[in-house]
Amino acid sequence: MSASDGAADVVTHEVSEAAARDLLVDLVETPSVTGDERECAERLAAFFERHDREARLDEVGNVRAPGDDGVLLTSHIDTVPGEIPVEVEETDEGDVLWGRGSVDAKGPLAAMAVAAVETGASFVGVVGEETDSRGARHLVDERAEPAAVVNGEPSGWDDLTLGYRGFLAGTYSVAVDSVHSSRPDPNAVEHATGWLSRVKAEFATDDPVFESVTVKPVEFDGGLDDDGLATAATVDVQFRIPPGTTAAEIRETAESELDAGSVSWGEPIPPTLSSPRTDLARAFRVAVRAEGGDPGLLRKTGTSDANLYAAAWDCPVATYGPGDSTFDHAPDERLDLAEFDRAVAVLGRVAENRLESHE
């Protein structure tokens, strides 16, 4: 692990509203589906370099802009697939940017980059968040702990996210000898669907979603093998882990419902729930009020890189960024640019607060 990712005597520059919006549009116009983030990462690094700030791409492709470690501003560069024509639409309520990644999470990413240039805060744009979080995993393995972390995801400009469920992926696989379809013996597809139904029933509850384990099949393949001698099936399943539940408990329950086949498991991400009473959370409430907002606190049913930072580092972690998260991964993804402007201002105030307290 490096001693620090911070840098002394960082030069700061004011960034105009127009220049901040130009950065956002440039990032959204540059495709960066997970695994193909490099061009977008280079454009992001160039923004820092134009403002006299050191920036580099590390071994996994993260954009590292060392600064004051009183706070680390970090968001992800990658997006899910899906082409949405990029345009700025003029509406009666203001300008709206359409495009893949405008909300998840290039709006937060660009707002953090601007705030980092204006305040001197440390910044990292990470890769791979939408799949295996390889960028965040590399960061916590290689980087020293900062004094605080703000993770960039859409929360709305006046809200702060303090909780996420964890994540566990598994692949169920089964193969059985083929029999005539008129016989009652279960084939591989029936074994797979039966296992999935039993597991979903085991985790069924009337509790709020944030407090529940949810089971979601995301890919299914099955049928007669090419040689005609067996049927086989695989199901890729994602589990969301609420606070108070562990990945080990979910694995044990899922495997107890096997009557054939087996499950292979991915690396889990633990749930996280931060206190609203930290200095970081208070700084956000003060900043939102200063910009004319009424701050709120959120708990999200998904998972983010904030889970990994909270598990690895003993410092305050919160998640913030402009955008309506209902547009995450959606075919009509879009971001209100006035909201983006307010988020830049809030992040600047929070970063200044954290850097002053870190002196």
Beta strands per DSSP E along the chain: 56-57, 63-65, 68-76, 87-91, 94-98, 121-126, 149-152, 159-164, 166-177, 214-224, 230-241, 262-265, 272-273, 296-300, 317-320, 334-336
- The residues, any chain, with a CB within 8 Å of residue 144's CB and separated by 6 or more, are 1, 2, 3, 4, 5, 69
In 3D space, the residue among 266, 263, 275 whose CA is nearest the CA of residue 241 turns out to be: 266
**Residues 37, 69, 78, 153: which is the catalytic one?**
78
**Residues 5, 129, 339, 352: which is the catalytic one?**
129
In 3D space, the residue among 163, 155, 165 whose CA is nearest the CA of residue 327 turns out to be: 155
Three-state secondary structure call for residue 161: strand
By the 8 A CB rule, do 348 and 112 touch? Answer: no
- CA distance readout (Å), 38 to 21, 58, 65, 159: 21, 11, 16, 31
- Whether 78 is catalytic is yes
Q: List 320's β-bridge partners, or say none.
A: 152
- Whether 29 is catalytic is no
Catalytic residues: 78, 129
